[in-house]
Amino acid sequence: MVWLTRMHRCLGFGIQSPKDYAFVRYVINEKWPYYAYERLGKNDDWRTRKLGRLYMRLANWRQPTAMELDRYEEYWKAGCSRRLKAEGRGMNTVELARVDIDDDWETVEQLLRRCDERSVVVVEDIWRDWQRWHDIEQDERVGTTYDLYYCGIVLFDKQRYGHHYKVNF
């Protein structure tokens, strides 16, 4: 049902910015098999595998040096060619992070305070609380967001015109 309602938002249709289009087309909705797909997530359910592969592509695109590793650790590490150091929530600047929409607001707020123009934050399960997702979208520190239904991707580059995209993922 989700796919049908977002069918007209496939593959970056309607996105005017070349950078945003390339991000949707070649990071979010990349269809070519990556080098690590076969060895990752063999026992995962379809949703975990789909999100894990997205997170691997995000790590491949951003190439962070440190992040808080979580249940998707094997995917994050597979996408990063650099040696990825496990850091806790005490990092000074966030390069790449994942939170859940159900996390308490103080945790999310602390994370947003440590973001800069290169930061990428993934908010998982945004469909559980649309109001909270819209509050994150409207935050003054946020630049561009991508609503993928199962998760949202938040970019903080304020030098570019901010936009909020709904993408069929």
Instruction: Write the CATH number for 95.
Output: 3.40.50
Rounded to whole angstroms, the maximal C-alpha distance in the chain is 42
Q: Name residues whose C-beta falls within 8 Å of residue 89's C-beta, 6 or more positions apart in sequence.
A: 68, 107, 110, 111
Q: How confident is the model at residue 10 (pLDDT cuts 50, 70, 90)?
A: low
Q: How confident is the model at residue 123 (pLDDT cuts 50, 70, 90)?
A: very high
* Segments forming the whole domain that contains residue 115: 2-166
Whole-angstrom Cα Rg for the chain: 15
Lowest-confidence range among 4-13, 41-50, 97-106?
A: 4-13
Q: How confident is the model at residue 3 (pLDDT cuts 50, 70, 90)?
A: low
The structural domain count of the chain equals 1
Backbone angles phi, psi at 146, to 5 degrees: -130, 115
The top-scoring range by mean pLDDT among 7-11, 31-35, 109-113, 151-155 is: 151-155
Q: Label each residue of the chain as H, E or C.
A: CHHHHCHHHHHHCCCCCHHHHHHHHHHHCCCCCCCCHHHCCCCCCHHHHHHHHHHHHHHHHHCCCEECCCCCHHHHHHHCCCCCEECCCCCCCEEEEEEECCCCHHHHHHHHHCEEEEEEEEEECHHHCHHHHHHHHCCCCCCEEEECCCEEEEECCCCCCCCEEECCC
